[in-house]
Amino acid sequence: MSNSDTGSHLDRTDYRILAELAANARLPVTELAVRVGLSKSPCQVRLKRLQEKGVIRGFRTVIDPAKLGLDHVAFVEVRLADTTEKSLAAFNAAVRLITEVEQCHLIAGSFDYLLKVRTRDIRSYREVLGTKISALPGVAGTSTYVSMQPIIDDTM
């Protein structure tokens, strides 16, 4: 990754644009421009450049999972039987198909993957674990940690 890809060419105004959008991505460009001290056209140019460079990867709607009855969160350590590139690729492709998996991270440590799994309750989690997660390619074992309460969650 070159320096131009890491954000080193961003100036104070770019960072102000990013902060405003992080707080409210639905700001109209005219309002965004006022808040960062630009006219509309230069603000649009900067916004487009930030998107083209991949600094802004997209915009999304954040939904409260509890309002949908998805209150149960479990973190699952997954250990694979082997970690060849072929095994990792097979696991990566298959885990993307499990809708209950909100996040999946390849980990350097005593296990291989950490999954964040969201379901209705412990019973539905148990079903996902037994029929989907444990059946993923190469899974040798899992350990589950149930979240009692989110303290910091930037998706809420």
Per-residue model confidence as pLDDT tens digits over 96-124: 999 999 999 999 999 999 999 999 999 99
In terms of domains, do 70 and 16 share one? no
In terms of domains, do 85 and 141 share one? yes
Q: Which domain holds residue 37?
A: 12-53
Structural domains of the chain, count: 2
Handedness of CA 77, 79, 80, 82 (dihedral sign): positive
In terms of domains, do 84 and 138 share one? yes
The amino acid at residue 83 is T
Residues 24-63: b if buried by 16+ CB within 10 A, e if exposed: eeeeeeeebbebbebeeeebeebbeebeeeebbeeeeeee
Of 61, 31, 59, 29, nearest to 47 (Cα)? 29
Least confident of 7-11, 19-23, 105-109: 7-11
Tell me the pLDDT tens digit for each residue of 28-41.
999 999 999 999 99
- The pTM of the full predicted model, rounded to 2 decimals, is 0.79
Helix axes of 29-36 and 12-23: crossing angle, nearest 10 degrees: 130
Average pLDDT of span 70-94: 97
Angle at alpha carbon of residue 12, lines to 6 and 17, rounded to 5°: 85
In terms of domains, do 44 and 82 share one? no
3 assigned to some structural domain: no
6 assigned to some structural domain: no
In terms of domains, do 81 and 18 share one? no
In CATH, what number is assigned to the domain containing residue 39? 1.10.10.10
